[in-house]
Amino acid sequence: MKRILLALVLACMAMSNGYGRKKLPTYDVHPANQAPTLERPAWPNYDHQNENSFAVFSNIMEAWQTDWGQSLWSERAKWTLYRCREATYVTFDWQVPDYQDWWFFRFTTGSAIIDADTGDQYLLREIEYFPMDQCFWVHGQSGRTIRFVLVFAPLPLSVEHVQIFEASAPTRRWMDGDAMRSRVFDLDELRPKAERVEKQGRVIY
Q: Is residue 57 part of a domain?
A: yes
- Residue 173's region, left for phi above 0, alpha for psi from -120 to 50, else beta, is beta
Q: What are residue 56's phi and psi, to 5 degrees? A: -125, 130
Closest CA to 122 of 153, 98, 83, 91: 153
Q: Is residue 77 part of a domain?
A: yes
Q: Is residue 100 part of a domain?
A: yes
What ranges make up the beta strands (E) of the chain? 37-40, 55-58, 77-83, 88-95, 102-105, 112-115, 121-127, 136-139, 145-152, 161-166, 180-181, 185-186
What ranges make up the beta strands (E) of 128-181? 136-139, 145-152, 161-166, 180-181
Q: Is residue 44 part of a domain?
A: yes
**Which residues does 150 contact at the CB level (< 8 Å), separation at least 6?**
89, 90, 91, 92, 107, 111, 124, 126, 127, 128
**Which residues does 1 contact at the CB level (< 8 Å), separation at least 6?**
none
Q: Is residue 5 part of a domain?
A: no
Average pLDDT by stretches of 10, the chain with 205 residues: 46 42 77 94 95 95 72 75 95 87 90 94 96 94 91 95 83 73 85 58 55
pLDDT given at position 113: 94
The whole domain housing 45 covers 24-190
Closest CA to 155 of 196, 185, 197: 185
pLDDT given at position 67: 55
Domains in the chain: how many in total? Answer: 1
pLDDT given at position 42: 97
Please report which helix (H) or strand (E) contains residue 2, including its range.
helix 2-16
Q: Is residue 118 part of a domain?
A: yes
Assign residue 57 the CATH number of its domain: 2.60.40
Q: Strands 102-105, 37-40: parallel, antiparallel or unpaired by DSSP? A: unpaired
Q: Is residue 176 part of a domain?
A: yes
The model's pTM: 0.78
Q: Is residue 155 part of a domain?
A: yes
CA 56 vs. chain centroid, Å, equals 22
34 DSSP β-pair partners: none
